[in-house]
Structure formats: structure tokens, C-alpha cells
């Protein structure tokens, strides 16, 4: 279980390499739309912080959003 730090410029790269049980700690900023499809983690992955303009999750398991802001 690791804490992985990400910024708006490297968010997608870090998200694609996250492992089960990790926390992705986002720096302040707008990360745009979060769209995840068919993603399953064996242990909960947490995305902490950040602001999103939209969140679309389809067939996603083991994901937790913590302290994230969603501006629809």
C-alpha cells in the first residue's frame, strides 16, 4: 500500500499505474472529467482530493473518492 502523489499533468499516467490498496493523493486543481469503465481493484484504491467537472463510473469496484469536489 503506497501513497502516490499526482498533479493535473500526470494524473492519468499515475491512475493507470495504481495498485490495489494504494492511495492517489491529488494536488489542488481541476482534473476535468473522471471516466472509468470496467475497473476492478482487489483491495480498495482511494483517490483523495482534487476537483472534477464530472464523474462517470461504469462497472467499477474497489474505488473510494475521499475529499474530492465534483462541480457539475
| pLDDT given for residue 9 in this prediction | 95
Contact 40, 62 (CB under 8 A): yes
| pLDDT given for residue 15 in this prediction | 93
| pLDDT grade for 64, boundaries at 50, 70 and 90 | very high
Mean pLDDT of 5-33: 95
| 58 vs 34: CA distance, rounded Å | 11
Contact 49, 25 (CB under 8 A): yes
Mean pLDDT of 22-44: 96
| pLDDT grade for 72, boundaries at 50, 70 and 90 | confident
What phi and psi, each to the nearest 5 degrees, are found at residue 11? -55, -50
Q: CB atoms < 10 A from the CB of 20, how many?
A: 12
9 CB-near residues (< 8 Å, 6+ apart): none
Amino acid at each position: 500500500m503506497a501513497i502516490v502523489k499526482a498533479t493535473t499533468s500526470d494524473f492519468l499516467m499515475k491512475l493507470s499505474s495504481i495498485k490495489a490498496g494504494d492511495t492517489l493523493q491529488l494536488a489542488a486543481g481541476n482534473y476535468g472529467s473522471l471516466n472509468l469503465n470496467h475497473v476492478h481493484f482487489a483491495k480498495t484504491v482511494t483517490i483523495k482530493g482534487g476537483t472534477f467537472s464530472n464523474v462517470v463510473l461504469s462497472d467499477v469496484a474497489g474505488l473510494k473518492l475521499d475529499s474530492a469536489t465534483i462541480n457539475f
